[in-house]
Amino acid sequence: MGNNNIVLVGFMATGKTTIGKMLAETLDLDFIDMDQLIEEIEGITVNNIFTLNGEAYFREKEHEALDLFRKSENKVISTGGGIIISADNRRKLRDIGKVVYLESSPQWILTNLNRSETIRPLLNETNPIDKIIELLDKRRKYYEEVAEFKVVVDGKSLSEIVNNIISIIRP
């Protein structure tokens, strides 16, 4: 594919946004975060969209937002962790660019989540470890299916992860 886009997928709190930004800077590409884009379009936070309109509405907006990237070039796109639930989204993601799965264990996800300032409506409980395990078990096959490349993020620094991504996507 000649569009040069890189799409990051993976569970919540695996670092897609932070890593995407660094990757874009390093490769001199534009950076777009899909959750932030949806927040701009809707004028409220993702957390408030879930509270006010429900998850199904958010999924519709997420689905619509993907179409905005059909003609994109030279972008690093960070997606929301649930984008891969829809088979149609998975097809579209692969058309948009090289899809990289940031793989992580439930424990590492929990550690990242506790350091993160973003509110995740699906993990909004005191100890969400069981919920992380349950959701990851449901979604793992979709991340694996959609991604052309996979990078394990556990225990790695941001720059290590960025370097790992660059070395696997460049033949």
Report the binding-site residues for Mg(2+). Answer: 17
Question: How many whole angstroms separate alpha carbon 86 and alpha carbon 3?
Answer: 23
Name the binding residues for ATP.
13-18, 120
Considering the complex, state which of residue 82 and residue 97 has its C-beta at the smaller distance from ligand S3P.
82
Considering Cα of 7, then 151, then 102, then 116, what sign does the dihedral take? negative
Looking at the DSSP assignment, which residues form a beta bridge with residue 9? 101
Considering the complex, state which of residue 1 and residue 162 has its C-beta at the smaller distance from ligand S3P.
162
Q: In the complex, what is the shortest distance from the CB of residue 139 to ligand S3P, in angstroms, rounded to a whole number?
A: 8
Q: Which of residues 121-140 bind ligand S3P (CB under 6 A)?
A: 121-122
With 0-12 / 13-18 / 19 or more C-beta atoms within 10 angstroms meaning exposed / middle / buried, residue 52 is exposed
Q: Which of residues 87-116 bind ligand S3P (CB under 6 A)?
A: none
- Report yes or no: 20 and 8 within 8 Å, Cβ to Cβ: yes
Q: In the complex, what is the shortest distance from the CB of residue 17 to ligand S3P, in angstroms, rounded to a whole number?
A: 6
Considering the complex, state which of residue 40 and residue 73 has its C-beta at the smaller distance from ligand S3P.
40
Question: How many whole angstroms separate alpha carbon 104 and alpha carbon 87?
Answer: 22
Considering the complex, state which of residue 1 and residue 47 has its C-beta at the smaller distance from ligand S3P.
47
Q: What is the dihedral of CA 118, 122, 126, 132, to 10 degrees?
A: -100
Question: How many whole angstroms separate alpha carbon 144 and alpha carbon 149?
Answer: 9
Work out which of 6, 7, 8, 12 binds ligand S3P, going by CB under 6 A: 12
Work out which of 81, 97, 106, 128 binds ligand S3P, going by CB under 6 A: 81
Work out which of 35, 76, 100, 101 binds ligand S3P, going by CB under 6 A: 35
Q: Which of residues 46-65 bind ligand S3P (CB under 6 A)?
A: 46
The residue behind tokens 């979604």 is 139
Where do contacts with ligand S3P occur on this chain (CB under 6 A)? 12-13, 16, 35, 46, 80-82, 120-122
